[in-house]
Amino acid sequence: MIYPKVYLKSGKEQSLQRFHPWIFSGAIKRIDGEPAEGDVVEVVSAKGDFLALGHFQPGSITVRVISFDNLEINREFWLTKLRNALNLRKSLGLFPNPTTNIFRLVHGEGDGLPGLIVDIYGSTAVMQAHSSGMALMRSTLAELIIEAMGGAVTSVYDKSSGTLSPKSPSEAVDGYLVGEAKSDELFENGNRFLVSWEEGQKTGFFVDQRDNRALVGQYSKDAKVLNAFCYTGGFSVYAARGGASSVVSVDSSQKAMDLTTQNMLANFGQNPSHVSVCADVFDFLRDNDEVYDVIILDPPAFAKHRGALNNALQAYKRLNAAAFRKLKPGGILFTFSCSQVVTRENFRNAVFSGSIIANRNVRIMHQLTQPADHPINIYHPEGEYLKGLVLYAE
Distances (CA, A) of 160 to 201, 230, 330, 363: 12, 24, 44, 41
Residue 285 CB, nearest approach to ligand SAH (Å)? 10
Report the greatest alpha carbon distance in the chain.
Answer: 71
Pick the closest to residue 238 from 223, 216, 222, 257 (CA basis). Answer: 216
DSSP 278-312: ES-HHHHHHH----EEEEEE-PPPS-SSGGGHHHH
Residue 368 CB, nearest approach to ligand SAH (Å)? 13
Residue 334 CB, nearest approach to ligand SAH (Å)? 10
- Return the SS3 of 44: strand
Cβ proximity to ligand SAH: between 260 and 346 the closer is 260
HSE (CB half, 13 Å, CA atoms) of 45?
12
CB 78 within 8 A of CB 142: no
Task: Give the type of residue at 275.
Answer: V
Q: Which residues lie closer than 8 Å to 290 by C-beta, 6 or more apart?
A: 224, 226, 248, 326
Reading phi first (left if > 0) and then psi (alpha if -120 to 50, else beta), residue 14 is in: alpha
Task: Give the type of residue at 206.
Answer: F
Cβ proximity to ligand SAH: between 131 and 232 the closer is 232
Residue 300 CB, nearest approach to ligand SAH (Å)? 4
Residue 284 CB, nearest approach to ligand SAH (Å)? 8
In angstroms, the CA 173 to CA 171 distance is: 6
Cβ proximity to ligand SAH: between 13 and 251 the closer is 251
Cβ proximity to ligand SAH: between 150 and 300 the closer is 300
Residue 159 CB, nearest approach to ligand SAH (Å)? 16
The catalytic site residues sit at: 338
Residue 323 CB, nearest approach to ligand SAH (Å)? 13
In angstroms, the CA 229 to CA 250 distance is: 6
In angstroms, the CA 235 to CA 9 distance is: 49
> Binding residues for ligand SAH, per CB under 6 A?
206, 209, 229-232, 234-235, 251-253, 256, 280-282, 298-300
In angstroms, the CA 160 to CA 194 distance is: 21
Q: Which residues lie closer than 8 Å to 197 by C-beta, 6 or more apart?
A: 119, 121, 124, 126, 157, 159, 203, 204
Cβ proximity to ligand SAH: between 66 and 225 the closer is 225
Cβ proximity to ligand SAH: between 78 and 231 the closer is 231
In angstroms, the CA 7 to CA 30 distance is: 5
